[in-house]
Every structure is written in C-alpha cells, then in structure tokens.
Amino acid sequence: MKFSFKKARKAQEVLKKRVKLEPLKREIKTVAGCDLTFLDPFKNPITGIGAFIVLTYPELKVVEKVYEVAEVEIPYVPGFLAFRELPLLIKAFKKLKRKPDIVFIDGHGITHPRGLGIAAHFGVITGIPSVGCAKKPLFGEFKEPCREAGCYEPILHPKTKETIGYAVRLRKNSKPVYISPGNLITPEEALKLALKTARGFKLPEPTRIAHNYLQTVRKGIIQRKLQELEGKNGS
C-alpha cells in the first residue's frame, strides 16, 4: 500500500485539534533532545538512525543516550516530515529508561501550514511537552533578530497575527533558530527554555548534543560495516 499524502494531511488536521498550548504543569528537571540521520544521507537516505539524549535541567548534564536503526519508508515532503521521521524517533524514545519532562525536536512545532509540525505531532501522540527547534523557517511572518546572542523576534500567524513561535539568535552573528511550541507549552515558555538551554552555540544543548551523539553513532556503524567487509575479503 502506497503512502497517501492526502490522508496524511487529513490526519494532521484531526491531530491539530488535540494540541494544547497551555502552561507547563510540572517543574522541568530533565530535558531531552533527539535527532535522525541516515547511513548515507544524500545518496541513499533509507537506513535511518534515530537518537535520544536526556539532560538534567538546568545543569544540562547528560544522563542517558539511546539510539535505534530502521529502514525509513516514506519520502521527505515539506510539511509532512513527521510521517517520515516519527516512527523511528518513537522507537528510540521507547528505549529511554528515564522519560524526560520535555523534549526538543528538530523541526517545527505549530509554525507549520496546518499547525502540526513534527514537534507538535510528537507531543500529541506521546502526551509529553515538546518544543520545535528548526534551522530554517517554514511558516509565519517575522523580522530579522538583531545580531547579538539572545536577540529574538516573534513569528506571527499570517492571518490571525498571533505569536506562534520565535526566531531566536542563540549565538552572536549565527543564523537564528526557529522555536515554536509543540504541545503542552506556551510560545513564551518554549522561547525561555531555548534561551536557558543555550550554551553559546547556534543550537540549544539538547539538540546540539543529540546531533553530535548521532554523528558518533553513525561513524561507528560505518566503521563496523567496513571491518566486517574486510574480514570476508581477507584484504
């Protein structure tokens, strides 16, 4: 059965009704970051690797890391990233022994054409508060933040003019990141959390550490494959 983007769109419209932009209910003690890459990202983006890391908050010390490998079936189409990446990310998430109080996801939360980017989608199906952190804008209107670290500008919904997220500069002269609530958090709380988990890099720590960890895992898997191949050939 072929994947239907028409049905996926319908699913997003239904799930969007379950997004709650309400203040956090619990004190944040742990923050997770996650990321997904492929063994061969540009030539053959099929074998995916998904990773989750858990950090203490506000100290930002790593307390757990997990990863999972699986074939990714659905192609990437802007606006439908969740259908491609969420199945593997959820698999990795289930391996965590300590469930985090909140999760940072690579990609948008509600700053999405149908209000349900991957971070909002994750938050709705897991019931865990989530924040979207994207490296490129997708939806909404905003002004360029000033060049200093900590500068930000609201991202406004084109029709309602409501604040749905923030373009935030976490490092001086770096490109901004695009922060928006996924679920069970307000735009202002998402902004505050992004600023408080920044450590002078372009990306907030949960996202940055998850990305670094995944790079290490990916290189390890490639090395291991090369070693196996070498043993067979006796070269």
To DNA, the closest distance from the beta carbon of 81 in angstroms equals: 4
Residue type, 156: L
Is residue 230 within the footprint of DNA (CB under 7 A)?
Answer: no
Is residue 36 within the footprint of DNA (CB under 7 A)?
Answer: yes
Closest CA to 214 of 89, 87, 130, 86: 89
To DNA, the closest distance from the beta carbon of 227 in angstroms equals: 17
To DNA, the closest distance from the beta carbon of 76 in angstroms equals: 4
Nearer to DNA, 106 or 205 (CB): 106
Is residue 208 within the footprint of DNA (CB under 7 A)?
Answer: no
End-to-end CA distance of the chain: 43
Residues in 170-189 that interact with DNA by CB under 7 A: 172-173
> Both tokens of residue 20?
């709650």
> HSE (CB half, 13 Å, CA atoms) of 156?
10
Cβ within 8 Å of residue 78, ≥6 positions away:
138
Is residue 76 within the footprint of DNA (CB under 7 A)?
Answer: yes
Is the dihedral angle over the CA atoms 175, 181, 187, 192 positive or is it negative? Answer: negative
Nearer to DNA, 94 or 135 (CB): 135
Please write down the HEC assignment for all residues of 56-120: ECCCCCEEEEEEEEEECCCCCCCCCHHHHHHHHHHHHHHCCCCCCCEEEEEECCCCCCCCCCHHH
Nearer to DNA, 25 or 132 (CB): 132
Is residue 191 within the footprint of DNA (CB under 7 A)?
Answer: no
Is residue 165 within the footprint of DNA (CB under 7 A)?
Answer: no
Size of residue set near DNA by CB under 7 A: 33
Binding mask 107-146 for DNA (x = CB under 7 A): xx---x----xxx------------x-xxxxx--------
Closest CA to 178 of 206, 146, 145: 145
Is residue 79 within the footprint of DNA (CB under 7 A)?
Answer: yes
To DNA, the closest distance from the beta carbon of 217 in angstroms equals: 10
CA distance 59 to 64: 14
In the complex, the residues that contact DNA under the rule CB under 7 A are 35-38, 41-42, 45, 76, 78-82, 106-108, 112, 117-119, 132, 134-138, 172-173, 211, 214-215, 218-219
